[in-house]
Amino acid sequence: PVFAGMNGSAIQNFSCVIYNVFLMNCTWQAGRDAPADTQYFLYWQNSKEDNQMECEHYIKDENWKNIGCIFQNVTIGTEKSYFLVNGSSKDSLIQFYDEYIDLYKI
């Protein structure tokens, strides 16, 4: 099923901020019911023509968990960008989170 994974395991409070026109910083918090070993991975697709890219520069917390990403050389178009955050855990399936965002509005 599309929404496989433990309820409450998807990330929360996803947001992105753009700095100096070409740097984008996206952050999130772990799902409230995610197992302790959950690690999240962010993928971004700027437009339908572009390939999906995984984050190259993760922001990590004190436990080395990915809690954000810094994207460099961002090109802001007028199409909505697609963001997908999925997670992995040895204990259970993790729900994914996805969102379309108009970068030129942020």
Q: What is the largest CA-CA distance in the chain?
A: 40
With 70 as the cut, is the pLDDT of residue 1 above it?
no
Segment 5-35, tens digit of pLDDT:
889 999 999 999 988 878 999 999 999 999 9
CATH number at residue 62: 2.60.40.10
CA 75 – CA 71 distance, rounded (Å): 10
Show the tokens assigned to 57: 């520069």
Confidence of residue 50 (pLDDT cuts 50, 70, 90): confident
Segment 59-106, tens digit of pLDDT:
999 999 999 999 988 877 777 889 999 999 998 999 999 999 887 776
| Helix or strand holding residue 69 (H, E) | strand 66-71
Would 7 be classed as within a structural domain? no
pLDDT of residue 41: 97
pLDDT of residue 9: 94
Show the tokens assigned to 22: 């070409």
Q: What is the pTM of this model?
A: 0.87
Would 77 be classed as within a structural domain? yes
| Domain encompassing residue 74 | 12-102
Would 61 be classed as within a structural domain? yes
Would 60 be classed as within a structural domain? yes
As for how many domains the chain has, the answer is 1
Would 3 be classed as within a structural domain? no
